[in-house]
Amino acid sequence: MKALAAQDPAVYGAIVSEFRRQQDELELIASENYVSEAVMQAMGTWLTNKYAEGLPRRRYYGGCDFVDITEGLARDRAKQLFGCVGANVQPHSGAQANAAVYLAVCQPGDTILGLDLTHGGHLTHGSPVNSSGMLYKAVHYTVHGETGYIDMDRLRELALEHRPRIIVSGASAYPRIIDFEGFRSIADEVGAIHMADIAHIAGMVVTGLHPSPVPHCQFVTTTTHKTLRGPRGGLIMADRQWAKAMNKAVFPGTQGGPLEHVIAAKAVAFGEALRPDFKTYCEKILANAQAMAETLLSRGFDLVSGGTDNHLMLVDLGETCSGKDAEDALGRAAITVNKNTVPGEKRSPFVASGIRIGTPAMTTRGLGVEESVQVANWIADAITSRDDEDALEAIGRQVRDMCKQFPVYPEELVD
């Protein structure tokens, strides 16, 4: 990065500091991951210079021969990876992917039925502060108050009552297996389209560690940067009937020129996810999550739904400690998590009563079950000692020591 360092020390300095933070501290935000050097290299290329509106071999600009190759590879590999009929690799993000599907399916004012935000849903599933909740009429299903599992009976009641145009399955903070087949049968019963948003669990889906929504959906959307471990971006899949509408809704419906440098990196990441060792990686994510969940439970913490089937868990801290205080304390101990609302939340979302913990990033840097147990114990210690600066500092030192043993990237990369 010599040119950048010489030309713009302010930007360069901040980038190097972020590199240090990622190397030296423990990342447990469930939606984050570390891309490979190959993915990173594809992103930082001349492809960023290219306008390529349209689809491969059907572009509105000349000079697209080579971005047609990279985008074609990304699309073909996405189809192979997910076993879907249509794939559009152009959405700039998960939110853009969802906006495009709504545009393809809904008229303004139509009803969207999605999981409530405080129960683990995403802003783009009909929150009033997101376009999905402004342009469309949003209705929300919830998780069961007692079990923490999605309340499929209530979902069906709401579907029958509100007759939504689209039912959205998928979540940002839900630790259990999602019954996509059950969603489809309710959607079919009320004549709704079923879209699954697998932004979080895509890695598990492509490795068979979570049932695939593809056979049970008209649309599947995902991000490419969470468990899938690719560059920051989105992806839409559609069945045969909806493939054309999907493409039109992305461009010209909601986007202009695609980010071909990111699309090339998506191709690289999909190539990685097609390899057998990606399944081994995802199995380790789950084993680490199990180990952390069991340790936290044994330390007396309460987990929403009592545990996890996937890469994340939600710790319900109850009355004694807020999510914000826990997030702050863990931050001082070099552990990054995010505060999260819990079902039946009583605090404001800026304070919240829970934290969300995920294992994809720590698993990428090579931490295993033994380290997961240790990390969970540090989390428990840090939350318990949240007012004791010395204790937090001592935990932080041990966390940084462990991180040093498991570097994410070679140090030479920032030289």
**Cα–Cα distance measured from residue 303 to residue 283, given in angstroms and rounded to the nearest whole number:** 21
Q: Work out how close the CB of 120 gets to ligand PLP at its nearest, in angstroms, rounded to a whole number.
A: 9
Q: With left for phi above 0 and alpha for psi between -120 and 50, is residue 78 left, alpha or beta?
A: alpha
Is residue 53 annotated as part of the catalytic site, yes or no? yes
Is residue 223 annotated as part of the catalytic site, yes or no? yes
Tokens of 315: 């710790």
Interface residue with ligand PLP, options 200, 266, 284, 339 (CB under 6 A): 200
Does residue 325 belong to the site contacting ligand PLP (CB under 6 A)?
no
Angle CA 140–143–149, to nearest 5:
145
> Which listed residue (137, 232, 299, 400) is catalytic?
232
Backbone phi, then psi, for 356, in 5-degree steps?
-105, 130
Distances (CA, A) of 22 to 34, 341, 356: 9, 25, 19
**Cα–Cα distance measured from residue 413 to residue 361, given in angstroms and rounded to the nearest whole number:** 19
Does residue 150 belong to the site contacting ligand PLP (CB under 6 A)?
no
Q: Work out how close the CB of 69 gets to ligand PLP at its nearest, in angstroms, rounded to a whole number.
A: 25
Angle CA 207–208–211, to nearest 5:
135
Q: Looking at beta carbons only, is 179 or 197 nearer to ligand PLP? A: 197
Q: Work out how close the CB of 227 gets to ligand PLP at its nearest, in angstroms, rounded to a whole number.
A: 10
Does residue 54 belong to the site contacting ligand PLP (CB under 6 A)?
no
Interface residue with ligand PLP, options 22, 90, 118, 172 (CB under 6 A): 172
Q: Work out how close the CB of 100 gets to ligand PLP at its nearest, in angstroms, rounded to a whole number.
A: 12
**Cα–Cα distance measured from residue 150 to residue 186, given in angstroms and rounded to the nearest whole number:** 14
Q: Work out how close the CB of 148 gets to ligand PLP at its nearest, in angstroms, rounded to a whole number.
A: 17
Interface residue with ligand PLP, options 28, 199, 259, 375 (CB under 6 A): 199
Interface residue with ligand PLP, options 197, 260, 309, 371 (CB under 6 A): 197
> Which listed residue (75, 176, 184, 226) is catalytic?
226
Does residue 247 belong to the site contacting ligand PLP (CB under 6 A)?
no
From 126-134, 194-202, 376-384, 404-412, span contacting ligand PLP (CB under 6 A): 194-202
Does residue 88 belong to the site contacting ligand PLP (CB under 6 A)?
no
Q: Work out how close the CB of 158 gets to ligand PLP at its nearest, in angstroms, rounded to a whole number.
A: 19
Expressed in angstroms, the distance from the first to the final Cα of the chain is 7
Inter-residue contact 261 to 70 (CB < 8 Å): no
**Cα–Cα distance measured from residue 240 to residue 375, given in angstroms and rounded to the nearest whole number:** 46
Interface residue with ligand PLP, options 22, 70, 88, 93 (CB under 6 A): 93
From 42-50, 144-152, 197-205, 373-381, span contacting ligand PLP (CB under 6 A): 197-205
Packing angle of the helix pair 369-384, 276-298 (nearest 10 deg): 40
Exposure string over 146-181, b if 16+ CB within 10 A, otherwise e: eebbbbeeebbebbeebebbbbbbbbbbbbbebbbe
Does residue 266 belong to the site contacting ligand PLP (CB under 6 A)?
no
DSSP state of 226: S
Packing angle of the helix pair 9-24, 389-405 (nearest 10 deg): 90
From 80-88, 166-174, 367-375, 402-410, span contacting ligand PLP (CB under 6 A): 166-174
* Alpha-helical regions (H) of 227-358: 243-248, 260-273, 276-298, 323-332
CA 61 to chain CA centroid, Å, is 33
Does residue 337 belong to the site contacting ligand PLP (CB under 6 A)?
no
Q: Looking at beta carbons only, is 172 or 359 nearer to ligand PLP? A: 172
Q: Work out how close the CB of 222 gets to ligand PLP at its nearest, in angstroms, rounded to a whole number.
A: 8
Is residue 281 annotated as part of the catalytic site, yes or no? no
Q: Looking at beta carbons only, is 234 or 396 nearer to ligand PLP? A: 234
Residues that bind ligand PLP (CB under 6 A): 31, 93-95, 98, 122, 124, 170-172, 197, 199-200, 223, 234
Known catalytic residues are 51, 53, 197, 223, 226, 232
